[in-house]
Structure 1
Amino acid sequence: MSAQLLLVDDEPGLREAVKDYLEESGFKVQVASNAREGWELMQQNTPELVISDIMMPQVDGYQFLKQLREDPRFASLPVIFLTAKGMTSDRIQGYQAGVDGYLPKPFDPDELVAIIENLLTRRVSSSQTKNEDSETPDIAELANQIAQIKALLTQRNAIPQTSPPFNIDLTPREQSVLNLVAEGLMNKEIARRLDTSVRNVEKYVSRLFSKTGTNSRTELVRFALEHGLAD
């Protein structure tokens, strides 16, 4: 199973040992020595699963987990605590905080791999089931938003353009996606235009929602038109 993982731990020896073992098991692993560094890495490349220590300086594992759960991009991301806090009460606290797996140190690396594979498999199955159950409503809602966007475009000149209330730092790819969303294209069409996957397009659209404080494609396009962000 070749999945992208993020390992956050402030112990260099353990961090490198776990990284090496996971890579030997077929995973791709990014490492961070603290939660802030891990958060920065996630802005560049979203992992499929996060492994984090609890006791870390500045931002501990619980604060890091809370930060992930409050961000729409990472709210459903599987998270495993790998920690020296191994009491039953510690594990209960971890699960109550929303962690998906809890492995006390010292641990068997094979058990860690088994937990990772189980969580990733369950996530894929859950995603497929969700898509099957909600395919028609999602498509209908998306089509409705596309129709609203096209209506906005016909009245583009009637929408007053104002100065941006704050500086929005968009990457070149995010700007490209925003321009295509503003043309009224669906995710599959955008993916085809940019020669990327639909999943990547969904990630970029989610980031645009987060950066602009919008919740739908219609709101995003209106925001872009009002502030001159789209071509």
Structure 2
Amino acid sequence: MKELKPTRKTRLLLIDDDPNLILLVKDYLEFRGYEVITADNGKTALDILEDADPDMIICDIMMPEMDGYTFVENVRNNVKTRWIPFLFLSAKGQSQDRVKGLSKGADVYMVKPFEPEELVAQVESSLKQADRLLQHSRGADVAPIIQVPDDVTLTPKELEVVQMVAQGMSNREVAINLKVSQRTVESHVSNMLNKTNLSNRTELARWAIESRNA
């Protein structure tokens, strides 16, 4: 795949309560061709998400009013935003901090201080992965449309599982990430297939991705 070069001004939402970091990161990302929207805490960022539709979120953890953990949970529990690639950028660098950040819903966890080039590489990698998933979900133009009942409601845990399925994870990988047994994951997948009247995990992943872009 060609290296990702934003053409329509790929939009990033940057959230941090340090104005100096906001300025430096915003300038660097804008220099690389991205449009950058900023907020100084999770509460303000949620307000921004009501109108904005960012392609990716970069977020600090320790912030006033609403921290990053609470914010990412809100993002993942909202049908409109739950598929947005999410990167935590935090000074909390212990192993347990990384595990907590990823388990809360982040896709990438970077520790401050960081090299700007590494941040750009992580952003581009996450955007490429999201694009690959979208292209795969579309498949050939002749791929049948995924249809499910209008009243389908998934539990919070099922939403977590289907998100990881849509990322291409196996049941075993999902189980490791959620710290549950593989049998539990298989049960969640089976329940979702019954609810949606879909036939397999591939259709379930396609439906999850297409729901985001509907």
TM-score (normalised: structure 1): 0.59
List, as ranges, runs of 4+ consecutive aligned residues in structure 1 with deviation greater than 4 Å. none
Matched, 1:124 2:131: yes
Question: Aligned to 1:137, which of 137, 145, 152?
Answer: 145
Q: How does 1:86-97 map to 2 (within 5 A)?
A: 86-97=93-104
Tell me which amino acid in the other structure corresponds to 1:137. I
Distance in 2 (alpha carbons) for counterparts of 1:24 and 1:137: 39
1:54 aligns with 61
| Higher Cα radius of gyration | 1
Cα distance in 1, alignment partners of residues 81 and 129 from structure 2: 16
Q: Which residue of 1 aligns with 2:119?
A: 112
Write out per-residue CA displacement over residues 120-178 of structure 1, whole angstroms, 9 at most, x where no aligned residue: 0010010110122793133xx39x99xxxxxxxxxxxxxxxxxxxxxxxxxxxxxxxxx
How far apart in 2 are the matches of 1:63 and 1:113?
25
Q: What is the SS of the residue equivalent to 2:143?
A: helix
- 5+ residue gaps, structure 2: 151-210
Partner of 1:75: 82
Q: Which residue of 2 aligns with 1:100?
A: 107
1:85 to 72, 88, 92: 92
Q: Aligned to 1:67, what secondary structure does the other structure show?
A: helix
* Percent identity between the two aligned chains: 36
Q: Output the CA distance in 1 between the equivalents of 2:39 and 2:73.
A: 18
Letter of the 1:126 counterpart: L
Tell whether 2:14 aligns with 1:7.
yes
So what's the TM-score if we normalise by structure 2?
Answer: 0.64
For structure 1, the residue ranges without an aligned partner over 5 or more in a row are: 146-201, 207-231
Cα deviation code 1:55-108 (max 9, x no counterpart): 001211000000000001111110000111011111111111121111111110
How far residue 42 of structure 1 moved from its aligned partner, in angstroms, is 1.4
Aligned residue pairs total 146
SS at match of 1:23: helix
1:1-231 equivalent positions in 2, closer than 5 A: 1-2=5-6, 3-132=10-139, 135-138=143-146, 141=147
Secondary structure class of the residue paired with 2:46: helix
